[in-house]
């Protein structure tokens, strides 16, 4: 029997979106030098939400100067304990205004409200709480320093973030930078600037000294200006491997420190002794969470041949219950694709999968008329040479491959230029450890997937980037 759900939309009246936003520099919203702006739309309806300023080199220079002044005069001189108080205050404001923030994030990004409400916003607050705790304990972080005493901040951090977790990526970048005594110029993604601008208001509400956090909105050009600015001491980037490469070239030969968190093509490995229903939940969470717009998504399912049929049957049954639609509806499991460009990319790669001979399957589901949508999709009969097994699709599309022995599973899992994450599903603890030692991935989840915690370092091997974010290791990227 099919149960029908009544719509359960979250009210959007809780959030006030201005018709236009300036750049947040030196504690104030100001107009961009060029006078140019871009529109940010709701990917679920294509409705224009706001006009947002486009910052150019002049604006970035102003922001870096403000950050330098704040660093020299205030922030780097303040005790860790005082800095920590500001971070605690920001964390609490995020918690207090969580509902408003979750609605804003879902509107601008297209992700389901239950994810922004239960994952993005609480984790963002947790990152500020966690790093607030470190601010006066850096001396005890176990990092080696040239001089005795606390390790020293680097100076001004230039940070560029993507659109898949707009607020959470901001928290991953800004919280450790500030805790360690650095000041920040951050550029959010072109398609999802609103939560960063909301955060700028939170900085005002928390009385953060002007210039400690600067938000410069715009597109790729603006990001390039941040990365290339000669007075930036540290570059932190999350995004595509292609842009990561360009950034590595730009900073090569300079004294800038860099951390890069780039793409992934993670293997989620299911052995024949795995608890099948739990594994199926983990597969679904691994690839359909956040519409698959996740750098560590389990986009390659490696399933042991003897249970492949059973796993696929149950997976299809489970996928048939996923609800695609209005991101603000609390029943929604899969929201909108973030942009027309991303939808075109997912569509193109899926067509390539079919053309190369893989079998395509999606449950019947009605997609809304407006906005950008893609149904949850699996490809079976995928070989390692197929594009859908090698390239990051960054959408709700799973490639299924099979293996016979643990050694074959390891070989196939590692057969990728990326190395951000991996999953292992098995009843045997010894096998988990055996696999984890051999998988070339920054994070290996066992009998779970997509678990994040601010205390745990996150980052990649190979073309997934370098440096770690989160945990004690993440502090290293912001300290001398």
- Quick one: which of 159, 164, 304, 399 contacts ligand NDP (CB under 6 A)? 164
| DSSP state string for 139-196 | GGS----SSSSSPPB-SEEEEE--SSSHHHHHHHHHHHHHHTT-EEEEE--TT--HHH
Q: Please, which residue, 151 or 244, has the CB nearer to ligand NDP?
A: 244
Asked if residues 266 and 296 have their Cβ atoms less than 8 Å apart, the reply is: yes
φ/ψ (deg, to 5) at 259: -125, 140
Q: Does 220 bind ligand NDP (CB under 6 A)?
A: yes
| Nearest-angstrom CA–CA distance, 478 and 152 | 9
Q: Does 238 bind ligand NDP (CB under 6 A)?
A: yes
| DSSP state string for 383-443 | -TTSHHHHS---SSEEEEEEESSHHHHHHHHH-SS--SEEEEE-S-HHHHHHHHHH---SE
SS3 277: helix
Nearest to 461 by CA among 260, 300, 294: 260
φ/ψ (deg, to 5) at 211: 90, -15
Please count the residues of this chain forming the interface with ligand NDP, following the rule CB under 6 A. 26
Q: Does 326 bind ligand NDP (CB under 6 A)?
A: no
Stretch that binds ligand NDP, among 117-125, 185-193, 363-371, 380-388 (CB under 6 A): 185-193
Q: Please, which residue, 277 or 341, has the CB nearer to ligand NDP?
A: 341
CB of 432 to ligand NDP, least distance (A): 26
Which of the 8 DSSP states describes residue 336? -
Instruction: List b or e across 304-329, with b for residues whose CB sees 16 or more CB atoms inside 10 angstroms.
Output: beebbeebbebbeebbeebebbbbbb
| Nearest-angstrom CA–CA distance, 348 and 344 | 6
Stretch that binds ligand NDP, among 4-12, 44-52, 223-231, 431-439 (CB under 6 A): 223-231
Q: Does 459 bind ligand NDP (CB under 6 A)?
A: no
Burial group, residue 1, by CB count within 10 angstroms (0-12, 13-18, 19+): exposed
CB of 412 to ligand NDP, least distance (A): 21
Annotated catalytic residue within 203, 295, 296, 476: 295
Nearest to 301 by CA among 268, 331, 328: 268
Q: Which residues pair with 402 in a beta bridge?
A: 303
SS3 359: strand
Sequence-separated (6 or more) residues with CB below 8 Å from residue 74: 209, 211, 212
Stretch that binds ligand NDP, among 222-230, 274-282, 436-444, 451-459 (CB under 6 A): 222-230
Q: Does 219 bind ligand NDP (CB under 6 A)?
A: yes
- Quick one: which of 392, 463, 469, 476 contacts ligand NDP (CB under 6 A)? 392
Q: Please, which residue, 161 or 280, has the CB nearer to ligand NDP?
A: 161
Stretch that binds ligand NDP, among 74-82, 218-226, 279-287, 440-448 (CB under 6 A): 218-226
Q: Does 130 bind ligand NDP (CB under 6 A)?
A: no
Q: Does 417 bind ligand NDP (CB under 6 A)?
A: no
Residue nearest to ligand NDP (CB): 223
- Quick one: which of 114, 224, 256, 412 contacts ligand NDP (CB under 6 A)? 224
Catalytic residue list contains 261 = yes
- Quick one: which of 187, 386, 431, 462 contacts ligand NDP (CB under 6 A)? 187
- Kindly identify the residues of this chain, within the stretch 67-126, that bind ligand NDP according to CB under 6 A: none
| Nearest-angstrom CA–CA distance, 363 and 328 | 22
CB of 331 to ligand NDP, least distance (A): 27
Q: Does 262 bind ligand NDP (CB under 6 A)?
A: yes
Stretch that binds ligand NDP, among 139-147, 233-241, 281-289, 327-335 (CB under 6 A): 233-241
Asked if residues 205 and 180 have their Cβ atoms less than 8 Å apart, the reply is: no
Place of tokens 């008329």: 369
Catalytic residue list contains 203 = no
CB of 460 to ligand NDP, least distance (A): 9
Q: Does 300 bind ligand NDP (CB under 6 A)?
A: no
The bridge status of strand 28-30 relative to strand 183-187 is: unpaired
CB of 162 to ligand NDP, least distance (A): 3
Q: Does 160 bind ligand NDP (CB under 6 A)?
A: yes
Structure-derived torsion over alpha carbons of residues 299, 263, 186, 250, reported in degrees to the nearest 10: -170
- Quick one: which of 162, 282, 327, 376 contacts ligand NDP (CB under 6 A)? 162
Starting at the earlier edge strand, list the strands of the sheet with 48-53.
Answer: 20-21, 48-53, 37-41
Q: Does 454 bind ligand NDP (CB under 6 A)?
A: no
Applying CB under 6 A, the residues found at the interface with ligand NDP are: 160-164, 187, 189-190, 219-220, 223-224, 227, 238-240, 243, 246-247, 262-263, 295, 342, 345, 392, 394
Catalytic residue numbers, as ranges: 261, 295
């Amino acid at each position: 029997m099919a149960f029908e759900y009544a719509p359960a939309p979250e009210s959007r009246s809780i959030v006030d979106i201005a018709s236009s936003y300036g750049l947040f520099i030196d504690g104030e919203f100001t107009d961009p030098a060029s006078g140019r702006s871009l529109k940010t739309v709701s990917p679920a309806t294509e409705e224009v939400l706001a006009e947002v300023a486009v910052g150019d080199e002049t604006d970035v220079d102003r922001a870096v100067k403000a950050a330098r002044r704040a660093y020299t005069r205030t922030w780097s001189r303040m005790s860790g304990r005082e800095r920590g108080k500001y971070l605690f205050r920001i964390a609490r404001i995020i918690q207090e205004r969580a509902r408003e923030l979750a609605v804003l994030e879902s509107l601008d990004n297209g992700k389901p409200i239950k994810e922004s409400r239960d994952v993005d916003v609480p984790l963002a607050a947790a990152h500020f709480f966690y790093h607030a705790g470190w601010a006066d304990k850096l001396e005890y972080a176990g990092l080696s320093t040239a001089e005795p005493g606390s390790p020293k901040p680097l100076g001004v951090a230039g940070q560029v973030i993507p659109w898949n977790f707009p607020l959470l990526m901001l928290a991953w970048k800004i919280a450790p930078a500030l805790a360690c005594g650095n000041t920040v110029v951050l550029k959010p993604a072109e398609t999802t600037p609103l939560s960063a601008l909301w955060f700028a208001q939170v900085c005002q509400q928390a009385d953060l000294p002007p210039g400690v956090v600067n938000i410069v909105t715009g597109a790729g050009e603006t990001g390039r200006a941040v990365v290339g600015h000669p007075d930036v001491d540290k570059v932190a980037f999350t995004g595509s491997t292609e842009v990561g490469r360009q950034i590595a070239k730009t900073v090569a030969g300079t004294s800038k420190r860099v951390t890069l968190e780039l793409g992934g093509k993670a293997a989620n490995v299911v052995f024949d002794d795995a608890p099948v229903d739990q594994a199926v939940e983990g597969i679904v969470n691994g690839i359909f969470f956040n519409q698959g717009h996740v750098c560590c998504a389990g986009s390659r399912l490696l399933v042991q041949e003897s249970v492949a049929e059973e796993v696929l049957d149950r997976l299809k049954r489970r996928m048939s219950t996923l609800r695609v639609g209005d991101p603000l509806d609390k029943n929604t499991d899969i929201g909108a694709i973030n942009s027309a460009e991303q939808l075109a990319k997912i569509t193109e790669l899926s067509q390539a999968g079919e053309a190369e001979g893989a079998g395509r399957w999606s449950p019947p589901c009605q997609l809304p008329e407006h906005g950008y949508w893609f149904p949850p999709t699996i490809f079976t009969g995928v070989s390692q040479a197929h594009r859908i097994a090698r390239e990051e699709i960054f959408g709700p599309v799973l490639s299924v491959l099979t293996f016979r022995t643990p050694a074959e599973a390891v070989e196939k899992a590692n057969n990728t230029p990326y190395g951000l994450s991996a999953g292992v599903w098995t009843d045997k603890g010894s096998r988990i450890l055996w696999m984890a030692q051999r998988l070339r991935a920054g994070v290996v989840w066992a009998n779970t997937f997509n678990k994040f915690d601010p205390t745990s370092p996150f980052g990649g091997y190979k073309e997934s980037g370098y440096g770690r974010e989160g945990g004690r290791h993440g502090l290293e990227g912001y300290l001398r």
